[in-house]
Amino acid sequence: FDIGTTTVAARLFGTTTGVPLGCAGALNAQTRVADDVVSRIEACGAQGGLKRLQTLVLETMGELAKTCLENAGRSVCDLSGIVVAGNTTMGHLFLGVDPTSMGKSPFTPRFTESRRLDGGELLSQWTGVPVVTLPHVSAFIGGDIAAGLWAADFFACSGVALFMDIGTNGEIVLKTPSGIFAASAAAGPAFEGYGLMCGMRAAAGAVSSIALSGETAECRTIGGAPARGICGSGYVDFLAEGLRHEWLTPMGRFSPKAPAFAVEGKGKCVDLAPSAAGTILISEADIANLLKAKGAIAATLLTLLDKARLTPQSIDHLFLAGGFGRHIDAANAQACGLLPPLPLERIRYLGNAALGGACLYALDSQSVYELSEAVKTIRNVEVNLESTFEDHFIDEMALCPMGAGQ
């Protein structure tokens, strides 16, 4: 399992062959209580809050396991083990461990090590099935990132390697000759579509690709369905294309060349939708939120590079994890400053690396020890305490290639 804050993914596979037998995914039922990690930690302070959150995620996982098994013509009796990856808060909630110590400084998790238990302690139908959770690095770098690093063979990489999982908290791990540094960028959910006028998650009808020409926009949607909103990859395209075609100034404002108009209470906007599909708007306020998210991610990476006395051009390998990382146009992400300016052949897309790493972890008996030891070599950096972070953040709020404002 990969327990995400928003979604949970499951994969059933043969323990001798590694061949997938089934996959399933679903919305994490904890979203009924709160959408984000911080709010869920706060919910644990209420009476019965922790137990409710644990019950909800276990219900989700139990249903996903049932679906995978039934689709493969198997039963729970065939299960020989369960491996779980997730961010540190999800790892605590899954095991019913109070995460409230991570809700305030110094943000200390109750545990970081891999844990093993009988599945019956979680769900009665899992009795007798060993359950293993992957190790965490810190409060903000969890077992999902550890799994992704394992899937990428990150620790054995030569040269300077970068791992990025861009989400609400953009996790970044940088392997250098000076050591391995990791940090979490408080990017917020803008690139997941939240808080934006027409933002939505990647689903049918989401505008996922945008190309500008003159005063018109050519939009492609997921599944070719009528446009219902814009997902993260679409916003990345718009930032790059807007700058490229001079719809946007470097500070993220609409220029006179943009077909912008005022919307009451929303300020200046442009409409990307074909007339038959209704209005799909992007506002200057949306762009400001996207630039804050982009700035936080870029400033975090540049601060880690400062620790190792390196530049973005020093990076030999870039691993992009997560659904968002798999779908973005890397050249456009570089143009707007979300990704470092590297030759595109140095970029590798991993998809759901957390789920893939969890499978590898299960298939290799030695990995339980090896990954636990490897994550101990990672140095967690609180970038907001670093002297260069604030200057980087201010510079990276502009629409420009990463590091260009220095």
Of residues 301, 54, 26, 262, the one with CA closest to residue 174: 301
Neighbouring-strand partners of residue 13: 20
Q: What is the pLDDT of residues 297-318, one digit of tens each?
A: 999 999 999 999 999 999 999 9
CA–CA separation, 241 vs 196, rounded Å?
19
CA–CA separation, 108 vs 100, rounded Å?
9
Of residues 272, 257, 283, the one with CA closest to residue 220: 272
pLDDT of residue 281: 93
Reported as a pLDDT band with limits 50, 70 and 90, residue 406 is low
Instruction: Read off the pLDDT of each residue in 183-198 and give the average, rounded to a whole number.
Output: 86
Instruction: Read off the pLDDT of each residue in 72-95 and give the average, rounded to a whole number.
Output: 94
Q: Is the pLDDT of residue 154 over 90?
A: yes
Long-range contacts of 203-209 (CB under 8 A, 24+ apart): 203/231, 204/228, 205/229, 206/230, 206/231, 206/234, 207/231, 207/234, 207/272, 207/280, 208/233, 208/234, 208/327, 209/233, 209/234, 209/237, 209/329
Neighbouring-strand partners of residue 183: 172
Q: What is the pLDDT of residues 280-298, one digit of tens each?
A: 999 999 999 999 999 999 9
Reported as a pLDDT band with limits 50, 70 and 90, residue 180 is very high
CB under 8 Å to 92, separation ≥6 — which residues? Answer: 98, 99, 102, 109, 110, 111
Instruction: Read off the pLDDT of each residue in 336-358 and give the average, rounded to a whole number.
Output: 92
pLDDT of residue 278: 63
pLDDT of residue 85: 95
pLDDT of residue 17: 81
Neighbours of 245 (CB within 10 A): 17
Tokens of 320: 């992009």
Instruction: Read off the pLDDT of each residue in 327-352 and give the average, rounded to a whole number.
Output: 93
Tokens of 25: 């995914």
Q: Is the pLDDT of residue 131 over 80?
A: yes
Instruction: Read off the pLDDT of each residue in 145-153 and give the average, rounded to a whole number.
Output: 93
pLDDT of residue 338: 95
Reported as a pLDDT band with limits 50, 70 and 90, residue 189 is confident
Q: Is the pLDDT of residue 277 over 60?
A: no
Neighbours of 278 (CB within 10 A): 13
pLDDT of residue 322: 79
Give the per-residue SS3 of the chain: CEECCCEEEEEEECCCCCCEEEEEEEECHHHHCCCCHHHHHHHCCCCCHHHHHHHHHHHHHHHHHHHHHHHCCCCHHHCCCEEEEECHHHHHHHHCCCCHHHHCCCCCCCCCCCEEEEHHHCCHHHCCCEEEECCCCCCCCCHHHHHHHHHCCHHHCCCCEEEEECCCCEEEEEEECCEEEEEEECCCCHHHCCCCCCECCCCCCEEEEEEEECCEEEEEEHHHCCCCEECHHHHHHHHHHHHHCCCECCCCCECCCCCCEEECCCEEEEECCCHHHCCCEEEHHHHHHHHHHHHHHHHHHHHHHHHCCCCHHHCCEEEEEHHHHHHCCHHHHHHCCCCCCCCHHHEEEEECHHHHHHHHHHHCCCHHHHHHHHHCCEEECCHHHCCCHHHHHHHHCCCCCCCCCC
Instruction: Read off the pLDDT of each residue in 176-195 and give the average, rounded to a whole number.
Output: 88
CA–CA separation, 185 vs 393, rounded Å?
11
pLDDT of residue 187: 79
Reported as a pLDDT band with limits 50, 70 and 90, residue 274 is low
Instruction: Read off the pLDDT of each residue in 43-62 and give the average, rounded to a whole number.
Output: 96
Reported as a pLDDT band with limits 50, 70 and 90, residue 193 is confident
Q: What is the pLDDT of residues 209-227, one digit of tens each?
A: 999 988 889 999 999 988 9
Who wins on pLDDT, 215 or 2?
2
| Contact (Cβ atoms closer than 8 angstroms) between residue 5 and residue 90 | yes
Bond before 106 cis per omega within 30 degrees: yes
